[in-house]
Amino acid sequence: MKLKDTFGRTIDYIRLSVTDKCNLRCIYCVPGGVSRCSLREHGRPEFEKIISFLRVARKYGLKKVRITGGEPLLRKDIVRLVREIKITGVEDLSLTTNGQLLSGMAMELKKAGLDRVNISLDSLRSGRYREITGGGSLASALQAITEAERVFWPAPVKINMVSIKGVNGDEIPDFARMTLERSFHVRFIELMPVGGCNFDSLRIISGEAKKAVSSVGRLLPLGRTGSSDNYRLSDAKGVIGFISPMSEHFCDSCNRLRITSAGKIRPCLFSDHEEDLAPASTETEMEQLLLNSVLSKAKGSLLKKAIQSGTMQQIGG
């Protein structure tokens, strides 16, 4: 059975934030830095609720789940969670991580059923990486990328780079060059407003990022997959994607729901409509939450209207 919203879009993808706890404090994810960001966990959806809800969503055609956070690898039961999610029958199970803890866990996650990973990487310079992430180790992130490439092969490792003026924008060509010899998918993501900051003056929109990439070589269009508009540099092994939630939002093809770290179902990252998983216990109640969330999906982008008051860490980027 397929799940359609009121605008005819098929909803078959859930982005699941499993914790708001993070071991990094990225400048654009938690504006205000340490003062706004606790290393303590405030939210984590309950294991059993997640699995029951996903089982119900599977009956309605759920195909794809992406686990995010906070940092999902901080959740002690993450391997068991991956295993149980995969058992529900989702076809494509992926996880977004900062990579700090991935080396050493990658094989265990793969064996539990994880199909692939996205690794966030915003600089190839260790001092700058440390500054952007509030203390992260570039060496650990790079090691995680190499490990993930081996473990999840032939699924490509996706590398997420949020490009920011005066911070890391000058590294866009270096990131593009990463795709020449290795089969990475490097994705340039437009900076989104969060935590009361609109970030307008810092944003590098995809058109500008594309121009910077063109200094490396000619870009051959490959078409769109999900939110990413994809290209390949001539003779490159990997793919370059541009994700443009601000300059060219992709709401018309949106197929997602989100579960926040507080265990609330949201029809859109920037919606304030939430359905609470906590009180639901029966399959019928879960089904009702699913249907309510899908039917409350707005047609277009709520992004420009809302300068999000929550942080990505809480909602799950």
Interaction site with ligand SAM (CB under 6 A):
22, 28-29, 68-69, 71, 96-98, 120, 160, 162, 189, 191-192, 194, 312-313, 317
Q: Specify the residue, 162 or 239, whose C-beta has the smaller distance to ligand SAM.
A: 162
Q: How far is the CB of 73 from ligand SAM (least distance, A)?
A: 8
Q: How far is the CB of 227 from ligand SAM (least distance, A)?
A: 11
DSSP conformation class of 216: T
- The sign of the CA dihedral 74, 315, 96, 114 is positive
Q: Specify the residue, 52 or 270, whose C-beta has the smaller distance to ligand SAM.
A: 270
Q: How far is the CB of 3 from ligand SAM (least distance, A)?
A: 25
Q: Specify the residue, 52 or 168, whose C-beta has the smaller distance to ligand SAM.
A: 168
Q: How far is the CB of 307 from ligand SAM (least distance, A)?
A: 11
User: Which residue is nearest to ligand SAM, using beta carbons?
Assistant: 317
Q: Which two tokens stand for residue 209?
A: 């990022």
Q: Specify the residue, 191 or 204, whose C-beta has the smaller distance to ligand SAM.
A: 191
Q: Which two tokens stand for residue 115?
A: 């199909």
3-state helix, strand, coil in the chain (%, to 5): 30, 20, 45
How are beta strands 239-243 and 228-233 bridged, if at all? Answer: antiparallel
HEC string of 61-105? CCCEEEEECCCHHHCCCHHHHHHHHHHCCCCEEEEEECCCCCCCC
Q: Specify the residue, 89 or 135, whose C-beta has the smaller distance to ligand SAM.
A: 135
What is the Cα–Cα distance from 50 to 259, expressed in whole angstroms? 9
Q: Specify the residue, 65 or 280, whose C-beta has the smaller distance to ligand SAM.
A: 65
**Degrees, nearest 5: CA angle 201-251-307:** 35
CB 24 within 8 A of CB 74: no
What is the Cα–Cα distance from 263 to 19, expressed in whole angstroms? 9
Q: Specify the residue, 293 or 313, whose C-beta has the smaller distance to ligand SAM.
A: 313
CB 19 within 8 A of CB 262: no
Q: How far is the CB of 192 from ligand SAM (least distance, A)?
A: 4
DSSP H or E run through 317: none
Q: Specify the residue, 23 or 296, whose C-beta has the smaller distance to ligand SAM.
A: 23
What is the Cα–Cα distance from 192 to 244, expressed in whole angstroms? 9
Q: Specify the residue, 68 or 301, whose C-beta has the smaller distance to ligand SAM.
A: 68
Q: How far is the CB of 94 from ligand SAM (least distance, A)?
A: 11
What is the Cα–Cα distance from 81 to 63, expressed in whole angstroms? 17
**Burial of 116 (C-beta count, 10 Å sphere; 0-12/13-18/19+):** buried
Q: How far is the CB of 184 from ligand SAM (least distance, A)?
A: 14
Q: Which two tokens stand for residue 1?
A: 């059975």
158, amino acid identity: K
Q: How far is the CB of 224 from ligand SAM (least distance, A)?
A: 19
Q: How far is the CB of 248 from ligand SAM (least distance, A)?
A: 15
